[in-house]
Amino acid sequence: MRREIGLAKTASLQRLGVYKTSLLATIDRYQYLPQVLASDPRVVAALRNSSDQKVVPAEPSSISFLLKNINRQAGSDEIFLLNSAGVTNYTSNYDTATSFAGSNYGFRPYFRDAMAGVSDVYFAVGATSGRPGLFLSAPVLSESGQTLGVIVIKINLRILEQSWQVSGDSVWVTDEKGIIFLASTEKWRYFSMQPLSVGTQSELAQTLQYGKRSVEPLQRLVDWQADDWSTFNLKRSGPQVVFASPIESYAWHMHLRMPLAQFRAQLRRKQGLIILFYAGIAIGSLFYRERRRRTHAQNALAQLTAERESHQRAIIQNTDVGLLNLNAQFEPLFLNEQARTLFKLENEKGFNTPADLIQPWDPEKAGVGACRAEGVRSDGSRFPVMYTLNAIRAGEQREFILTVQDVTELTVAQQALQEANRVLEHRVEERTRELEDAQAALAQNQKLAALGRMSAAIAHEINQPITALSNYVASSQVLLARKRFDSVSENFLKIEALLERLSKLSRQLRIFAGKRNSGSASVSLQAPVRYALELLGPRFATEQVECELLLSQNRLDYLVQANAMVLEQIVVNLLTNAIDAVTGQEDSRIEIRLTELPALRQGKLPKRISLSIEDNGHGMSEDQLGHVFEPFFTTKPMGKGLGLGLAISYSLARDIGADLTVSSCIGRGTCFTLILPTTN
């Protein structure tokens, strides 16, 4: 059995060579494209302009249209451009339901390797589309050598798998981890030929290389194992012998599997022949068997060689680029139809040398990647081309493959884009000058508007102490008439305090013109509340409004970090607004609550105190709530208010590090809440 399997291994390796050639030819067809696009000035400019962006542009740009056209002409699956954060800024499928635009592929190894300056070839299941494919990536570098992003070409290898399936062979391709990612039979994809370590499983879960499904190992049989092959139990397919062959330039292996029962059947057949002829003509039977085996091997080898040559010819003839097969002296051995079409070569017998077809021609460029040059047709006309020269092995002989692609459209589009950039730069300069003129005029208008708002705010703030002064003067006149001189003296003290307050207001005009907080300290929260209640006491009595102060049961006062005068202004403004809201209705009521709130994070921030002023007025609608803190917005009748009290209170609260919020319901009233941090 081991001998039979060993004989089959030799033939299997030859057949695997054909499949490896088809796979490598498919990859080499697109190998040049990432480097070409990475060096395209339009791609470099697009990434440079969006280097600080972390999201995809809102509208598809010309770069996405360009990638779409190149993708269609190259026959690739998708082409997309990632910025340095791994976000897809431009993609050829921007107008499809499975667009890559905005997706972040920074977790993919092909992105990380390219950002490190190494072009990568990586097979994976698409994180967005769910379709498997081969990703070819290359770094996009600026003129200074900085890596701006990564250009990625995705190739669909499904057609190649289908060709393997039509051939009748059971073919696998595994990666460096032993995971099957290409197979002639779809159901064996994403199985492992060896147990996976915990680290490998974690890496697959992170990179989503093979989607979200788990990779299960195939069941390995103990019997019929060797260094040159492996045996697995593939469930309904039964025991299978798997031969492997490494793929040059990649950490992959190509596998061909054959049923173990086939070898057993061949062994039984040969054993029967040996038993049948051993009795009479042992020597003749052995000679016949050896001759038959050699003939069969030669025929099989000739057939495989013919199939391999036919397959290679078919691939070469059907490729979309011009291909020339050169000998070691760079003399043409074969040209495909696309090459004859590009250079208008009608003579089947005479081949032109590369030096006649491409100028400048440099044989030293072999293996260095894509090169730009000019193609020369048989009629003498010239056209821009991109060519690559790579060495191959044909048995013991050294040969070369020359790939030529017409880039006329790409060159014309490049020139058009450069001209458009020059026109755009001129227009930007004109618009910049216009914008600077408009900004100068706007700055002058804003200064005038700011002066008007500041004047209105000052008038509104001074009006409250003046009103209080008027109330105390009227009260003093009544008390003098009644000869209550002690009460009059108390009123004079209050009037003196109000005059001091007006003096402070005149010195703190910056409260309304810029930075308003003149310093903060640890102050009592009840003091400004009781000051406001005393200041507005006459209005409560006149308007017949009931005001109730509700304190926490745990303590009577709180110390908060704030500016005492600013805090008084806020409370007076909020209470004044509440009185205006309930004036003229029955059962007018205002409630003032002081509540202790928990810290935002335990042990990190101080506790907070909530001061809420709630009335049972008419309330406000959702639309009114959205504008309640805007300057000059008011729900009061014309002439009853300027609409600055709440706007000033909101701005003052921000200055002392407090939060001022509002909630309201039509028919139930309005509640303003001021939240401040405590100092104890």
Q: Which CATH superfamily is domain 32-156 in?
A: PAS domain (3.30.450.20)
Q: CATH number for the 321-406 domain, one of 3.40.50.300, 3.20.20.70, 3.30.450.20, 3.40.50.720? A: 3.30.450.20
- SS3 category, 679: coil
CATH tag, 515-677: 3.30.565.10
H-state helical runs in 319-407: 337-343, 354-357
The reported pLDDT for the residue numbered 310 is 74
Q: 418 pLDDT band (50/70/90 cuts)?
A: confident
User: Tens digit of pLDDT for each residue in 426-451?
Assistant: 888 888 888 877 766 665 555 455 45
pLDDT (tens digit per residue) in 28-65: 889 899 999 999 999 998 888 775 444 445 445 789 99
Specify whether the CB–CB gap between 8 and 240 falls below 8 A.
no
C-alpha to C-alpha distance for 175 and 173, rounded to whole angstroms: 7
Fold held by 2-22+159-317: Beta-Lactamase (3.30.450)
624's CB contacts (< 8 A; 6+ apart) are: 635, 664
Say if CB 47 and CB 141 are below 8 A apart.
Answer: no
Asked which of 171-175, 275-279, 393-397, 468-472 is least confident by mean pLDDT, the reply is: 393-397
Alpha-carbon gap, residue 183 to 253, rounded angstroms:
12
The confidence band for 386, taking pLDDT boundaries of 50, 70 and 90, is: confident
pLDDT digits (tens, 9 = 90+) for 146-190: 999 999 999 998 888 888 888 888 899 999 888 998 998 888 888
What is the pTM for the complete model shown? 0.40
Helices and strands in the chain: count of H runs, count of E runs: 18, 26
537-585 residue pLDDT tens: 888 888 888 888 887 655 667 788 788 888 888 889 899 888 888 888 8
The predicted pLDDT at position 461 comes to 62
- What's the rounded Cα separation, in Å, for the pair 150 and 118? 10
Question: Do 245 and 257 touch, CB atoms closer than 8 A?
Answer: no
Asked if residues 334 and 358 have their Cβ atoms less than 8 Å apart, the reply is no
Distance CA 245, CA 514 (A): 77
Given a cut of 80, whether residue 347 has pLDDT beyond it is no
